[in-house]
């Protein structure tokens, strides 16, 4: 397995994130495999599903935020209930 410098990896990821060229084109130009760049991208963007547009990511994050807010409210109510019950 080849070893790549941190700078090389960072530059490959930056080029892929810019989206000006397909990942496979970037990989060919850099002389590495497409799967290698995808692995490096996954390391820095683990929560973003492959192929998700910025608009889709925003929608997903808003949905996740609503769910987390609801869960937090439920936990606050449960904590208040148990605190009241233990008096």
Amino acid 51: pLDDT: 72
16 neighbors 23 (Cβ within 8 angstroms): yes
Q: Is 81:56 a contact under the CB 8 Å cutoff? A: no
Architecture of domain 1-46: Orthogonal Bundle (1.10)
pTM here is: 0.51
At 18 the pLDDT is 87
- 3-state SS, the chain, equals CCCCCHHHHHHHHHHHHHCCCCHHHHHHHHCCCHHHHHHHHHHHCCCCCCCCCHHHHHHHHHHHHHHHHHHHHHHHHHHHHHHHHCC
**Mean pLDDT over the full length of the chain:** 87
């Amino acid at each position: 397995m080849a070893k790549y410098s941190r700078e090389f990896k960072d530059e490959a990821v930056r080029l892929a994130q810019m989206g000006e060229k397909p990942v496979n084109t970037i990989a060919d130009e850099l002389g590495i495999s497409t799967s290698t760049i995808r692995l490096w991208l996954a390391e820095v963007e683990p929560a973003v599903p492959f192929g998700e547009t910025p608009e889709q990511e925003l929608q997903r994050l808003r949905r996740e935020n609503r769910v987390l807010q609801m869960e937090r409210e439920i936990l606050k109510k449960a904590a208040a209930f148990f605190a009241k019950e233990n008096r």
